[in-house]
């Protein structure tokens, strides 16, 4: 996926994938996925997609549809993302994100 934000191109094909969280039940309509990437210029972004019964659905009157987008995140927002979606990550993916942000991790 590609998106231009503030005159800069963000591309999932050229950025480095770090980790993803996803949710899949017995129904495809509840599926969503969020993937964290970093560009060569050290800008983090999340690419998401979701089906009709998720927070990402597009509404057209009484119809709902799949949607996808990219949004930029900073390191604080990445920690919030980890905490908010903790149940949807594989343990290995949480560790990848924490290794990526190791300098920012504060021990509790």
Q: Give the separation between CA 29 and CA 57, rounded to whole angstroms.
A: 9
Could you tell me if residue 61 is left (phi over 0), alpha (psi between -120 and 50 degrees) or otherwise beta?
left
On whether residue 11 sits in a domain, the answer given is: yes
Between 26 and 43, name the one with better pLDDT: 43
Q: How many domains does the chain have?
A: 1
Q: Is residue 47 part of a domain?
A: yes
Average pLDDT score over residue span 8-16: 96
What percent of the chain is modeled with pLDDT above 70? 77
Q: What is the span of the domain harbouring residue 49?
A: 2-101
Q: Rounded to whole angstroms, what are the CA distances from 10 to 1, 56, 63?
A: 8, 20, 30
**49 burial level (CB within 10 Å; 0-12, 13-18, 19+):** middle
**Domain contains 45:** yes
Give domain status of residue 108, yes or no. Answer: no
Q: What is the 3-state secondary structure (H, E, C) of 53-107?
A: CCCCCEEECCEEECEEEEEEECHHHHHHHHHHCHHHCCHHHHHHHHHHCHHHCCC
Cα–Cα dist 10/69, whole Å:
11
pLDDT, one tens digit per residue, over 14-23 is: 999 999 888 7
* 85 falls within a domain: yes
pLDDT for 86 equals: 81
For position 97, what pLDDT does the model report?
A: 87
pLDDT at 16: 95
The pTM for the full model equals 0.79
* Residue-wise pLDDT tens digits, 53-90: 666 566 667 776 667 789 999 999 998 988 888 887 87
């Amino acid at each position: 996926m590609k998106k231009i934000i503030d005159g800069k191109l963000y591309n999932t094909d050229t950025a480095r994938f770090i980790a993803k969280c996803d949710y899949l039940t017995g129904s495809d309509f509840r599926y969503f996925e969020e993937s964290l990437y970093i560009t060569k210029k050290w800008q983090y972004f999340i690419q998401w997609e979701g089906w009709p019964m998720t927070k990402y659905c597009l509404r057209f009157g009484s119809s709902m549809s799949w949607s996808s987008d990219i949004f930029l995140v900073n390191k604080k927002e990445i920690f919030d993302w980890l905490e908010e979606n903790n149940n949807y990550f594989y343990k290995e993916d949480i560790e990848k994100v924490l290794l990526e942000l190791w300098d920012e991790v504060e021990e509790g």
